[in-house]
Structure 1
């Protein structure tokens, strides 16, 4: 067959500008890369600033480590050394700030757009002034001793940056949704130094997808944000945890108690959700907030461990420094003041409070188990319980496992009881949710 006999391509079907689509794709890809990088850098700088601001407020309020913002003296050490009267006074001021601040914000500010709203397909942009005010109020109140978590503030700041950058770049709504979620995860990664945890949080909780484009963007933004935040915060782990050996008793305990963590976490999630729904508004907000924080201040005169988001009690549990009785008392009080603070109208996260609740509950259950099968340090129970409770209370089993691993830098083999406890706990909480919907 001659060359002329081969079927010829119809040249009329080939557009004259056939090379342009690839050029446009390259430019679009470059634009996406730039937005991803800027979102990571912005979330890292924002998270670093918020963390430094939080430490500065804590040090000034309770008068410790005034010569350096990042120090070896923890918040729990600082509040424990402060006089009881000072604790009560600071919590009263915290109530005024929370009540008046959020009352003014809701009254004169633009309606807030939460992260879940911002990651919806037809989501509006987050209002910058109102969102920044919301972020600063959370950091200010947590720094003064609010029992709520600080993680929502950097997530909102990262999401705000991602939303506006993607909007300015003219990205599609779906791409903007992904960037907003990545910004939120990057903010989490920055303040807690959890680059993988921030990315998994984006994929599991915010986007509910495992697509490779979303995974690449989530990993990149979280890694960039964490590395940027190292400039001011260092690359330290959040908790100091000793080496805990594995044992048959510990693994058995993880299996047997995991449903109890699931039940407790489900109850805590329902309780906190109801408190948010019934949160005080209008004139009741400043009144309820002041009364709530004054009560917490009075309790903190005798129990300074109650102040803050729960990192102090969690560290005590991980370090095996709590008795069963003290852990039980702190657990009851922490659940009570967390829900009452939400009911009073204050805002904040539940990540560290949930982690702390799990650690305290694990010390109680571990102490009882030790009467049957001794030999396991209380800290080992606390780490496993923290993961199990956090996974179920926030419906994020994979993220909880990764976060606990990065928070504590626990040995790899210790993942076995953690995964078993998380699986049993999360399965139980989901069964409870199904039963409640029947």
Structure 2
């Protein structure tokens, strides 16, 4: 746990309070702006709902309606943007600083131009069809702005670290309309404390950012999910499936860490990204659900409209293209990809279970599996639970099987990490940290 700031003078306290409010506003505006950019690029690229960037027509509906040739063309363009863009960032910009590193640093400021370019590239490539997530971009922008605000206000190093973490949480809260998860992520995933001097700014900044995002985007959950009931079948399944999901999530984390650690940062990045995304475009001719960060497959999984066979195929292909994209040098988050993988894997397990104990809808398995997978792949179980409930807004009784599955998943992953600890290979873990911005 990082040292927290000592008592402050009245003038210093007022500056501190002003910075808290400004970080919340900055995170909200950044999240709203990046969401608008994402939708704009998506609509223009695939030619749907051009008249409004925030329409009821989803990205997956637009991609599915687009011609096969257009899918290939947009993914080829995605490869060009990703390869040239990130090669240029690594070649000419200041070295990127991850949020986690900034929070630990004595100088938590992140380079402005490099961070902005890195974030915009993530948003544009995800909009064009990259299988990686978009949540890192608003977190980076929020953290970068927070670092500059704290430097201008003359806050202490300890206070600045807290504010940078809060900026990241505000960005997450805004881009997904998840103020509770944003605050929990700051405390659980970045600061590792529940001291009031961290809790108060985390809650306030995420609440402000979420309010601004809701004013611009509307107060709607990310996924339209029926209110599934908590049944005996789901509870027993959660007990048995949680550890299996934990193993799968742990293996997924190993794969993605491996890919990030070995991703090129020189001119090879251009060719590898071009080939990788062209291949994804060719796969999208038959499987348009592959395109994007995984929200589409997760949605059809949550509403129970995926079959066992199709879910298994999508799961294998989604893991494959996520690994190849990271290995080629593309950057992006793994929140929604992990959530998607958990939902698909749970549908496979749930389909087998339903043959023995029928009655539970496949969508209910998907929601539980998404939470359990996300808790392990992100290593933030409380944040994962908060995200799932803000994403889907299920009935309160549905929390029981979710909590059971998350507990089993985290316990199993913690157990296997004792024998396969990445810290035993410092060269690989260090490279992964440098890549995981």
Give me the TM-score of the superposition, normalised by structure 2.
0.94
Q: 1:48 aligns with which of 32, 51, 64?
A: 32
Match of 1:359 in 2: 343
Distance 1:121 1:130, change over 3 A: closer
CA shift for structure 1 position 281: 2.2
In 2, Cα distance between equivalents of 1:177 and 1:250: 42
Deviations 1:182-223, CA, capped at 9 Å, x for gaps = 000000000100000000000000111111110111000000
Match of 2:389 in 1: 405
- The RMSD of aligned alpha carbons is 1.1
Distance 1:374 1:100, change over 3 A: same
CA shift for structure 1 position 123: 3.6
Contact 1:117 1:123 in 2 (8 A): no
Q: 2:127 aligns with which of 131, 135, 143?
A: 143
Contact 1:113 1:124 in 2 (8 A): no
Q: 2:17 aligns with which of 17, 33, 43?
A: 33
Contact 1:132 1:157 in 2 (8 A): yes
Q: 1:86 aligns with which of 59, 66, 70?
A: 70
Match of 1:183 in 2: 167
Contact 2:108 2:161 in 1 (8 A): no
Secondary structure of the residue aligned to 1:371 is helix
Q: 1:315 aligns with which of 284, 299, 306?
A: 299
In 2, Cα distance between equivalents of 1:248 and 1:226: 36
Deviations 1:226-268, CA, capped at 9 Å, x for gaps = 1011232111110011011111111000000111000000000
Deviations 1:274-301, CA, capped at 9 Å, x for gaps = 0000002211100000000000000000
In 2, Cα distance between equivalents of 1:26 and 1:92: 56
Is 1:125 the counterpart of 2:125? The answer is no
Is 1:111 the counterpart of 2:95? The answer is yes
Alignment of 1:61-100 (within 5 A): 61-100=45-84
In 2, Cα distance between equivalents of 1:282 and 1:362: 38
In 2, Cα distance between equivalents of 1:247 and 1:262: 22
Contact 1:121 1:174 in 2 (8 A): no
In 1, Cα distance between equivalents of 2:420 and 2:342: 23
CA shift for structure 1 position 29: 1.3
In the alignment, structure 1 segments of 5+ residues that lack a partner are: 1-20
Secondary structure of the residue aligned to 1:32 is helix
CA shift for structure 1 position 124: 4.5
Q: 2:375 aligns with which of 391, 416, 424?
A: 391
In 1, Cα distance between equivalents of 2:401 and 2:377: 19
Match of 2:41 in 1: 57
In 2, Cα distance between equivalents of 1:121 and 1:137: 25
Contact 1:115 1:181 in 2 (8 A): yes
In 2, Cα distance between equivalents of 1:136 and 1:407: 24
Contact 1:250 1:417 in 2 (8 A): yes
